[in-house]
Structure formats: structure tokens, C-alpha cells
Amino acid sequence: MSHMSSSTKVVQPVSVPARLPWLALLALAMTGFICILTETIPAGLLPHIVEGLNISKGMAGQLVTLYAIGSLVAAIPFAMFTAGMRRRPLLLAIIAGFLVFNTITAISSSYTLTLAARFFAGVAAGAAWGMIAGYARRMVPDALKGRALAVAMVGTPIALTFGVPAGTLLGDLIGWRAVFGLMSLMTLVLMVWVLWKVPDYPGQPADERMTMGQVFVLPGIRPILMVVLTWMLAHNILYTYIAPFLERSGLGSRVDLVLLVFGLAAIVSIWIVGLLIDRKLRLLTLLSLLGFALVSAALWVGGTSVPVVYAAVALWGLTFGGAATLLQTAQANASGEEGVDIVMPINTTVWNLAIAGGGIVGGALLELIGVQSFPAVLLILLLIAWIIAWSAKRHGFPGKR
């Protein structure tokens, strides 16, 4: 970490431990959990929000859209603007943003104010995603960086698997506003946790910071970003429109169970990736893409069969759970410690573009051809991703570091 030693003003407050600082990393995982929960919970609470704000379903759906736009536009400018700031106060400010904007959502009776709160909550999320990976990696020595990132990312599949169903259930019991209030309470707990366990680090001195352009042309960065775009586009086409896709096999009413299978497999995947990533990054990436391509092929041939769909969804979860960790670790390795805080916001932006693209492309396919077209499109995207990852042998996804 060259920028720490050359900064004369800093007496390093923390030594890097030789084992994982679990409580500090889990605080970062909790930050990711709150990001994902805040983003996705309106989907489960949609009927209640429609009633509560007296709006249409389409208008309620914009609460998710505005959040995504906030993340998309904020990630890169925020990272550039705050690169020199100390890390823990910055993280606390971001978490405080969730506290403020979820509280506004909980008490607002104005649709316009709620939309604005959702946009700024998205801004906080874009800022958080740009920080979490670099922060986790600074806490540990080189040999543990991948594993530390896997722990810091575990909040994402947990939020997707259990958070949204639990939030939906709570919405039925205590009302949608109380669910947002509950998230604000969780955010308060997290702020205390960060103060208690997460070490502080200096920002980067201006003369050691890399620019966006410098990071973008580093060997390996562009192939990795292309893999992010194609892989996540394929994932989001299927994930966004999973309900209509499942109707072919008669599982349209079992979306919750299908997504539970997906989520549990994703959590297993994070565990496997966490154990092996520091030695087997290239192999895990290629296997994950190949596995998802097999899922697409199975759904193409047997998408109307219930057993095939369940088996395919389980394998899909196994290939997806560790994806964020694999791709972010590849980017961090390719960008080096000087570029990691710049490359992560670029990743966040591309990732959100793929989410939006999944909604647009999937919607167009659904309207024009029907859900039976999804597997073929997925297969094409995944083969492109696999070829790019395979070709990036020297820098993007090297066999040995």
C-alpha cells in the first residue's frame, strides 16, 4: 500500500492482522445488506405502497428505478470527489444517508418526496459499493484479500434470499412504513458497530491518485468490465423476468420457492469462492460462466419441466453467488492498490447499467418473441463473456498471480 508509507501526516492507526478481522468485515457486509434491502424491498411491498401513497403499480415501480439511477450517476463522481477523505468518517456519512432517506420514505405521504428520498438513497448505495471492496482489502495482507472481499460481499445474497421475503411478510403484518422504519433502526445499529470495530484509514494523497482514464487503460481492466456487462446482462434478463419465465413450467405461483433455491445455492457459492479465490480466481470465473451457460442450455431444452427448472436454478445460484467477489477481486488485482478505489465505482456503474439493460432487453424479448427466447440470448451473452475471460489470460483473469 504505497500511498500509506509516503504520506507524512499519518501515523498508521491499525496494523494489518494476519487473520480475517471478522467483525469489521461483517460490518461492511451489513452495509451491503442494507444497500440491497433498501433497493429491492419496494418490489415485495408494492401493493401496500400503491395503497399507502394512492398511486398506480407503474408509479410504485419507479421507486426501484429512481434508486438504481441514483446509484448509477453517483458512483464515479462520488469516488473522485472523496478520494482524499479518511475512510471511516466517509463510510459513516454514507450509512447516515440511508438512515435519513429510509426514514423520509417511512413517514412521507408525498409521492414526489418519496421518489426524491429513493434517488438519494440510491446515491448513498452507489457511494457505498464504490468503497466496500477497497476497504475490505485494506484490512488484510495480500494472501487474504480475496477471502476478505468474499466476507464483505456476503450481505448481498443474504439480502436477496431472505431480506425481501422477510420484508414482504413484515409488510403484511406491520405495514410498509414500519418496514422502512425498521431499516432505519438497523442503520443506527450499524453506525455504532462501525465506530466500534471498523478501522480508519487515510484517503489517498492527491499526487498518488490515479485518474479514471489511467485506471481504464490498465491492462486487464476493460476485458473484466466487458465480462461484468455480458454476464450481468444475461443474469438480469432472467432474474428480472423470472415470474413470466416460470409460467411455462407451471411454477408461476412458486416464484418465492424458486428464488429461495437460487438464494441458498448463491450463499453456498460465496462460501466456496471465499475458500478458493486467492488461489483459483481464473478457474472459478471460467467454471461459473460455463455453469451458467449450461443452465441456459438446460432451460432452452427443458424449460417446461419442473425438475429441470429446479436443478437449473440451483446451478444458476451456484454460478452467481460468488460472481461479485470474483469480478471485484479481478479488478482490484488488475488496478493495484492505487487504482482500487477508482475501479470499484466504474464496476458499480457497469453493474447498474447491466441491471437496467436486463430490464430493457428482457422486456423487449418478452413482448416481441416471448420468454422462450431468453435461454438462447443468455447462451450467446455467456459464450461471449467466457471467450473474453478465457482470452484475458495475462492480465484480466491470470492463472497465477
From residue 72, alpha-carbon distances to 143, 191, 225, 238 in Å are 32, 24, 15, 21
> What pLDDT score was predicted for residue 119?
95
**Higher pLDDT residue, 39 or 99?**
99
Q: Indicate whether 7 pLDDT > 70.
A: no
> For 161-196, how does the pLDDT look when each residue is reduced to its tens digit (9 = 90+)?
888 788 888 888 999 999 999 999 999 999 999 999
Task: Report, as an integer, the average pLDDT of 72-93.
Answer: 93
Domains 20-204 and 212-391 share a fold: yes
Task: Look at residues 180, 150, 210, 220 and name the one whose alpha carbon lies nearest to residue 34.
Answer: 180
What grid cell was written down for 380?
450467446
Place of cell 443474504: 158
The CA angle 102-105-111, to the nearest 5 degrees, is 150
Neighbour count for residue 146 (Cβ, 10 Å): 29
DSSP state of 247: G
**Angle, helix 374-391 to helix 221-240, in steps of 10 degrees:** 160
> How long, in residues, is the chain?
401
> For 92-136, how does the pLDDT look when each residue is reduced to its tens digit (9 = 90+)?
999 999 999 999 999 999 999 999 999 999 999 999 998 999 999
The secondary structure element, H or E, covering residue 224 is helix 221-240
Calpha distance 119→102 (Å, rounded)? 11
> What pLDDT score was predicted for residue 346?
93
Calpha distance 269→273 (Å, rounded)? 6
Please tell me whether residue 381 adopts helix, strand or coil conformation: helix
Task: Look at residues 374, 71, 383, 370 and name the one whose alpha carbon lies nearest to residue 231.
Answer: 383
- Band of pLDDT at residue 3, cut at 50, 70 and 90: very low
Q: Quote the pTM value.
A: 0.86
> For 306-323, how does the pLDDT look when each residue is reduced to its tens digit (9 = 90+)?
999 999 999 999 999 999
Say which CATH class 212-391 falls into.
mainly alpha
Return all residues near 54 (Cβ < 8 A) that are at least 6 apart.
none
Q: Indicate whether 150 pLDDT > 60.
A: yes
> For 318-352, how does the pLDDT look when each residue is reduced to its tens digit (9 = 90+)?
999 999 999 999 999 999 888 888 899 999 999 98
| CATH architecture of residue range(s) 20-204 | Up-down Bundle (1.20)
> For 357-372, how does the pLDDT look when each residue is reduced to its tens digit (9 = 90+)?
888 899 899 889 999 9
Amino acid in position 226:
M
Amino acid in position 379:
L
> For 209-239, how does the pLDDT look when each residue is reduced to its tens digit (9 = 90+)?
888 889 999 999 999 999 999 999 999 999 8
Domain layout of the chain by residue ranges: 20-204, 212-391
